[in-house]
Amino acid sequence: MTTTTASRRSLTRHLPIRLRGQRGPGLAVWLAAAVVALASVAALCASLLVPDATHQDLLVGITGPGPGHPLGTDDLGRDVLQLLIAGARTAVCGAFLVATGSMLLGNLIGLPAGYLGGWVDIVAMRWADLMFSLPSLLVAIVVSGVLGGGYALSVAILVVLFAPGDTRVIRGAVLEQRTRPYVEASRLKNLPTWRIMTHHVWPNVAPVAVANAFLNFAYALVALASLSFLGLGVEPGSPDWGRTLSDNRTQLFTNPWAALAPGLAIILTAAAVNILGDWLYERFDARGTTR
Amino acid sequence: MSLTNRATPIPDAGPRIRVHGLTVTQDDPVRPRTLLSDVSFTVDGGQSLAVVGESGSGKSLTVRAALGLLPPGLTAFGEVVIDGHRVDNDPRTRRAQRGRVVSLLMQDPFTLLNPLRQVGKQIADGLMHSSAARRSAAGRAQEVARRLAEVGLPAEIGQRYPFQLSGGMRQRVGVAAALAGDPRVLITDEPTTALDVTTQREVLALIRSIQRERGMAFVLITHDLRVAFSMCDQILVLYAGRVMETGATAAVRERQLHPYTHGLLRAEPPVDRRLAVIPTIPGSVPAHDDVIDCCAFGERCALAQERCQAGRPVPVPVSPGRSSACIRVADLPETDSTPADPTPVAATIAKPGGVIRPRPALVQVTALRKAFSGTQHPALDGVDLTVGPGEAVAIVGESGSGKTTLARCLVGLERPDAGQINIGGIDCADYARLSRNDRIRVRRLTQMVFQDPYSTLNPVLTIGATLREALRCDGLPADRQAVADLLATVGLPAEMARMRPAGLSGGERQRVAIARAIAGRPRLLICDEPVSALDVSVQAQVLTLLGEVRERFAMAMLFITHDLAVVRQVADHVYVLRAGECVESGPTGDVLDHAHHPYTRKLLLSVPNPDRDWL
């Protein structure tokens, strides 16, 4: 009997935390995952799924949802559903690039700023303050307007504009970890500073960084759409959620689906990514908080 | 409601609080759990009960369930009668009773008061039923002053904010606030655990005297049997969510009728003598549901037999007023009248004229000073310290005495403002100026064990990865065998290398931290309160382990602690620090047996003592 109780206890102890009586993902998380999966498939396989999404048929013109065109067609006779699928490519990929790019930049600056302190911290934080003091969307509009716009430029501008937020978040998380005994113990072991930063501190702030990247993804999706809406993102005529929304906004009352569908796609994807990010954060962070 | 009718006081006889068959479950859809089962007790007016147990035993849960203060997700079953009213199924009465009939004093004085309000106002919140307080602001102020005086504070304290008060003063304010509604039942949850030892004694004495004066029924939750003995009439020992033993204090002190109670009392090291072996209880507290069909203590019990595992023992009356859940109660050794009594050996013999200390010193600290910006007093104000090779030295003092700062200066985590530090012939006053080779040498000479077992290990690394890195840093091969050997040195199984810290208990984590520190066989191990966050039974295990590794590797050890009983067990030489100054130092036996400085004497008196007259 002793052995059975002992082994029962140690068995549960050896299990990874996530298997030990933690609740599974709820319905909202599953739905969010489904939305993100759909958007990703559309983004990656758009050219296969809808090779001629921008095909115009002026003779068809505006039609409501019906057979052949589940979401109807817009004023140029383009199929709205096909536009939606094709538009995922620029909308989702761009947002993904912005979120990852700013996360990388934020980590590269925030980790040394938080851990080393001193002038590194001062320079990094004043830079972040400066960036925060600028109205970001306005800067993006001005810069891409002056440099001639374009999709790649919009993405690059957004990376630079989003990075200070990431930097601050990472720095804050690093400051919290820096004084923990496990970091001090590594210092006492004479570990090189870069190794303490990358090997000890970073894995413990990574959940924060990832969660923040998910948040940024949603913001970037909306920001890119806004730039495209203003005509500063993708080329005119190319399928993109923001662009389609902009092109079709005049039909909002006559042909609502042509404008609502891309709008809803933006909102749903942004919300889904947020929910998923929240859930991932809670799941990964449980590792550190479990006593 | 009759319970608010103060004109007809309920006679003092009869139970003020009666709890019967209290059980707490967690309603998790995936894994429902029981956390506490079948706890019953009764406290009469003017009587007091101590609920004693280690962390995870369910003592806080017991009073929270009894008061209807469980967090969401937990459900309590069982009968709770407070002041003659059954309240477990009557939330309205329960709410009406709070503050006026029953009051709870929380553990942490640093968070129990609202930081944005003057403490006088917070006491006045509970006074609203009294006519004088209701009538006028002046009457209220007078009443607040009277309440402050009752807890030994001057009236002007009422104008202050919590952050302007020390921990002890805050807990006194907490007592005044808890008593503002003149409750008939006072429940305190580890009221002094967060306080310094000297303050603990004062606050405990205060609570006890007020409780007696007012004739309140009193429930004290504590992990310390010695505190329980000196505060309360009745003892209830909990373990893994179940009652192990109950009885009158005098009887329990005389003879423990459960091996757990006995072990718990023995594991508290005495301050007046050094033991050859500190008695330990092997293992750690199990979860309630892991020991559902056997004796909860069976796995750790020296007396366990086959039949202890056969079924779940329930507390049965043994003698009048006493019950024990041990089925072998008749076989318990009779002769254990003195609680902590395993082969006392002569304390370190105090030689007149001082003890010859090993030369040359391994660590030599001279006139060390360190002040933190924004504080009035320097943390260290000219401290001298010597640690010889292989010597165990303790630095003892309360919070704010500078003991931790001293340790951190020694290892280079803080830079002293002035003074010399010499470790193994290297001048370490400023680690930033050391050459690379010197720094590596010093780091291999000195290592440190930190206080908090829950943040001392990197949560994302496995135990094996942590230890491999430690071995590599100290220039040793870091293979699987080396890690297994290191784990064996600290008494842990080799399989633990695959686990992450979250799966380990506090004691196990502290063992891993010790393994990490001793990986490169340092000549000096600095231990900063290594056992203060651990349960008593685990504390004894870790102290024993530290003694073993010290002997095995002939290390010097610098022990930072507030606990003189720990000092007595581990140290050859002791320094007493107060407010950054060393007030007394010498061989442990000399200092503890013939303390010269009043502060040392005060510290000695503050160590909880199972004798009735400690407070």
Question: What is the tens place of the pLDDT at every residue in B177-224?
Answer: 998 888 999 999 988 887 888 888 888 999 999 998 888 999 999 988
Mean pLDDT, chain B, whole residue set = 85
Higher pLDDT, B546 or B278: B546
Contact in structure between B286 and B240 (CB atoms under 8 Å) = yes
Measure A5 CA to nearest chain B CA, in Å.
Answer: 7
Contact yes or no for A188 and B451 at CB 8 A: no
Decide if pLDDT at B35 tops 60: yes
In this predicted structure, what is the pLDDT of residue B576? Answer: 94
Q: Region B66-71: what's the mean pLDDT?
A: 88
> What was the pLDDT predicted at B467?
94
Q: What band does B134 get if pLDDT is binned at 50, 70 and 90?
A: low
List the single residue in B298, B459, B517 with the smallest CB-CB distance to A288.
Answer: B459
Q: Which of A95, A144, A64, A85 is nearest to A265 (CA)?
A: A85
Chain B residue with minimum CA distance to A199:
B461
In the A/B pair of chains, how many CB contacts fall below 8 A?
A: 98
Instruction: Please report the pLDDT score of residue A45 as a whole number.
Output: 82
Dump pLDDT digits (tens) for B432-485: 888 989 998 999 999 999 988 888 999 889 999 999 999 998 888 888 999 999
B22 in Cβ contact with B36 (< 8 Å): yes
Using a CB–CB cutoff of 8 Å, tell me whether B498 touches chain A.
Answer: yes
Query: Which of the two residues, B515 and A54, has the higher pLDDT score?
Result: B515
Local structure of B111: helix, strand or coil: coil
B469 close contact with A: CB closer than 8 A: yes
DSSP-assigned states of every residue in B58-103: SHHHHHHHHHT-PPTTEEEEEEEEETTEE-TT-HHHHHHHBTTTEE
Instruction: Give the pLDDT of residue B351.
Output: 41
Region B62-75: what's the mean pLDDT?
Answer: 89
Say yes or no for a CB contact (<8 Å) between A13 and B443: no
Q: How many angstroms separate the CA of residue A147 from the nearest CA in chain B? A: 45
Grade residue B344 by pLDDT with cuts at 50, 70 and 90. Answer: very low
pLDDT at residue number B560: 93
Say yes or no to pLDDT of B601 above 50: yes
pLDDT at B352 over 50: no
> Which pLDDT value is given to residue A8?
37
Q: Cβ B287–A187 below 8 Å, yes or no?
A: no
List of residues 6+ apart from B29 with CB closer than 8 A: A23
Using the predicted structure, report yes or no on whether residue B567 has a pLDDT greater than 50.
yes
Q: What is the pairing mode between strands B322-324 and B242-248?
A: antiparallel
Q: What are the two backbone dihedrals, phi and then psi, of residue B529, each rounded to the nearest 5 degrees?
A: 45, 55
Q: Which tops the pLDDT comparison, B378 or A18? A: B378
Alpha-carbon gap, residue A62 to A59, rounded angstroms:
9
Q: Which residues of B touch A14 (CB under 8 A)?
A: 495, 498-499, 503
Of B299, B443, B499, the CB nearest to A5: B299
In terms of CA atoms, which chain B residue is nearest residue A24? Answer: B30
Q: Which residues of chain A have pLDDT under 50?
A: 1-22, 288-291
Q: Looking at residues B227-249, what average pLDDT do you find?
A: 91
Residue A142's CB is within 10 A of a number of other CB atoms, namely: 14
Contact (CB<8Å) B452/A14: no
Which pLDDT belongs to residue B386? 92
> Which chain A residues have a beta carbon less than 8 Å from that of B457?
182
Sequence letter at residue B259: P
Residues of B in contact with A192 (CB under 8 A): none
d(CA A91, CA B361): 70
Q: Region B55-63: what's the mean pLDDT?
A: 87
pTM given for the model: 0.82
**Å between B447 CA and nearest CA of chain A:** 7
What pLDDT, on a 0 to 100 scale, did the predictor assign at position B12? 52
What's the confidence (pLDDT) of residue B449?
94
Q: B248-274, pLDDT tens digit by residue?
A: 998 988 888 899 998 888 888 888 888
What pLDDT sits at residue B1?
38
* Residue-level pLDDT at B348: 43
Whole-number Å distance between alpha carbons of A101 and A82: 29
Interface touch B452/A181, C-beta < 8 Å: yes
